[in-house]
Structure 1
Amino acid sequence: MALLKSAVPNQNISVNPKRKKSLQKQNIWVLYVFLIPAVVLTLIFAYLPMFSNYIAFLDYDFNKGWFGFGSEFVGFDNFAKFLNDDKFYELMGRTLLYSVTMMVTTFPAPLILALLLNELRGRLFKKFVQTTSYIPHFVSWVTVAGLFYMFLTVDATGIVNNLRQLIDPSAERISFMQDASNFLPVLVISEVWKETGWGTILYLAALSGIDPQQYEAAQVDGANRFQRLLYITLPGLIPTMCILLIFQLSGLFATNFDQVFNMQNKMIRLDTDTIGVYTYYQGLVSGQYSYSAAVGLFQGVISFILIMLTNYTTKRLSNVGII
């Protein structure tokens, strides 16, 4: 009996806590090294520019110094100037209209595509669809705008007008990009085409974290595919949906500057300006640095309030938040 006991390996081998702690320290420093570039870039491009917001409270004069310490302090005059501007309500309304429309149309798109991809059984076809849907994300908005102008032009290269005349030979060629009423649909279509595939990454990652045994148990109990989707898949995606919703709602007054700026042209710019584009023209083009800084800070404060309110609401309703 003693020989049998000695032959059986000891399953309760204890590790010295000090030794275990030292091994953890040796391995974890590598992770911090990988974090250094991200932290440095965030500090340079996200936090350091925040200090320049103080010029929103000055009558900034570039000739009096780069940091504007010699400029006159005017308090909230620049903010009052924006609030009393004739374009204030127009800009706020248009920015809100664009943002709400984009959110309603683009927020469900990655979720729907992820659910469809999750139902595919052909592995090669699934990878092909994933890859082709991701590629547009890496195309710059300058290139996307050029493609849309080429497709929607009245010239012979205008594919949309060519298709319209193919269906109805008597149809007149329309210059879509020179009509402000077409600007919002173009924004929505371009955003869905460019970013839907990339947005599915988080949803597919969340889907891979759902226990397959839940699907097997539900199938044994007689649940059909729709019921499995409704009672297993969607509840498993709620945390991811809440986080993405928080970030999207925080940008209600911050439309994609690159997209709007590149899609605009001189004929429709005044009718399609958003707060972000208006800030660019007032600051870099017109040289009103203090005024544009005040407009940008005003927009940032509203975005911060929205993200905090959305985070508070989602935590109360679903116990999911970012803070």
Structure 2
Amino acid sequence: MTDKNISKGGQKLRHKKLDSRDIQLICMASLSVLFLAVFAYTPMAGIALAFKEGNYKINLFEALLYSEWTLDNFRSLFGDEVFWTTFTNTLTINLLMLLFNFPMPIIFALLLNEVRCSRLKKGIQTICNFPQFISWVIYGGIILALTDANTGIVNPILEFLHLSSEENPVDLNLAQYFYPKIIFATIIKGVGWGSIVYLAAISNIDPALYEAAMIDGASRWKMAMRITLPMIKPTIVIFLLLNLSGLLGNNFEQFYVFQTTQNLSATRVLATYVYSLGFTSRQYSTATALSLFEGVISVVLLLSSNFASKKITGEGIF
């Protein structure tokens, strides 16, 4: 990149001319920006459907251009009993996941950091990261097969522990068992992958801090509590804020693969309800209103939790 000095008002301004390497980088970045604009920002025009009258099943463009503006979609949505059941399920599941799933990668990273054998450490990481690369469709199918009342391997274990019998097997695919099952499955699938960022943050801690603590006679537990955790607190806060902003968001595949008529009351969340409204019932305006409601609540949660975090801990995303 070449420089060119131009005098203006007694001051020299330095202008940089683009060379071929800069042009190549700009072209590479422009493809990503174009992809984002086409597939992320252009569809946002469809948000107007949430304020349009009727649920058009044939021509969405006619609905956007010629339909009357209204708030009836939100009124019908908030007056729907299924919506409030779905909202309660979503909030309950995400709060439970925040309580149980969020700390697990942190705990796993702290424990793995104490492993001194590098080969063993890498082996454990590889094994624990592997489930992340399996899609929820396959992973969920495996969980359903393992927990099947007739052919799964979980019931024989429960029988051995005298928690069930061959005559009355426990059907873990029923609604009352869904919450613990989805939490356990999510922990197993994501604990290794989620710990990568925390392990990277731990690796950046100055070793001199640990050496000084060892000289003072600090135990491994005290070093983890007094050095490691405080040093990775900014990373923990950022991920906590992101998790709080997603309290109404769910992975569609994660819940749809477990959904049956037996457990619909527990597995129906906002993500699957939007799919049901939009692609099964073709109530596009109502589905858009629900998506917009979810997005607005997520933004409010992110801003409020970030504000509270900066006031309490001094850490935040922005």
Give the TM-score of the pair, scaled to structure 1.
Answer: 0.86
In structure 1, C-alpha distance between the alignment counterparts of 2:275 and 2:90, rounded to whole Å: 15
Q: Deviations over 1:59-118 (max 9, x none)?
A: 242545536334422321101111111223322222111110011110000000100111
Contact 2:73 2:286 in 1 (8 A): yes
In structure 2, C-alpha distance between the alignment counterparts of 1:24 and 1:204, rounded to whole Å: 39
Contact 2:259 2:267 in 1 (8 A): yes
| Aligned-pair Cα RMSD in Å | 2.6
Q: Deviations over 1:38-79 (max 9, x none)?
A: 434433333222221111111242545536334422321101
Matched to 1:321, the amino acid is: G
- Specify which of 191, 207, 225 is matched with residue 202 of structure 2: 207
Contact 1:207 1:233 in 2 (8 A): yes
**Residue 155 of structure 1: SS of its match in structure 2?**
coil
Q: How has the CA–CA distance of structure 1 residues 170 and 318 changed in structure 2, closer, same or farther, with 3 Å as cutoff?
A: closer
Q: Counting helix residues as a fraction of each chain, which structure ranks higher?
A: 1
Q: How has the CA–CA distance of structure 1 residues 162 and 24 changed in structure 2, closer, same or farther, with 3 Å as cutoff?
A: farther
Shift of 1:287: 0.6
Shift of 1:175: 1.9
- Specify which of 173, 176, 182 is matched with residue 172 of structure 2: 176
Matched to 1:94, the amino acid is: N
Q: How has the CA–CA distance of structure 1 residues 38 and 241 changed in structure 2, closer, same or farther, with 3 Å as cutoff?
A: farther
Q: Give the match for residue 8 of structure 2.
A: none
Q: Give the match for residue 275 of structure 2.
A: 280
Moved >6 Å (runs of 4+): 21-30
User: Unaligned regions of 5+ residues in structure 2, if any?
Assistant: 5-14
Does residue 110 of structure 2 align to residue 112 of structure 1? no
Q: Give the match for residue 12 of structure 1.
A: none
**% identical aligned pairs:** 34
Does residue 251 of structure 2 align to residue 256 of structure 1? yes
Q: How has the CA–CA distance of structure 1 residues 271 and 217 changed in structure 2, closer, same or farther, with 3 Å as cutoff?
A: closer
In structure 1, C-alpha distance between the alignment counterparts of 2:214 and 2:18, rounded to whole Å: 43
Shift of 1:32: 5.1
Which residues in structure 2 correspond to 1:11-160 (within 5 Å)?
Answer: 35-58=29-52, 59-64=54-59, 66=61, 68-156=63-151, 158-160=152-154
User: Unaligned regions of 5+ residues in structure 1, if any?
Assistant: 1-16
Q: How has the CA–CA distance of structure 1 residues 68 and 187 changed in structure 2, closer, same or farther, with 3 Å as cutoff?
A: same
Matched to 2:87, the amino acid is: M
Which residues in structure 2 correspond to 1:194-233 (within 5 Å)?
Answer: 194-233=189-228
In structure 2, C-alpha distance between the alignment counterparts of 1:303 and 1:25, rounded to whole Å: 43
Q: How has the CA–CA distance of structure 1 residues 128 and 97 changed in structure 2, closer, same or farther, with 3 Å as cutoff?
A: same
Q: How many residues are matched?
A: 306
Give the TM-score of the pair, scaled to structure 2.
Answer: 0.87
Larger radius of gyration: 1
Matched to 1:107, the amino acid is: F
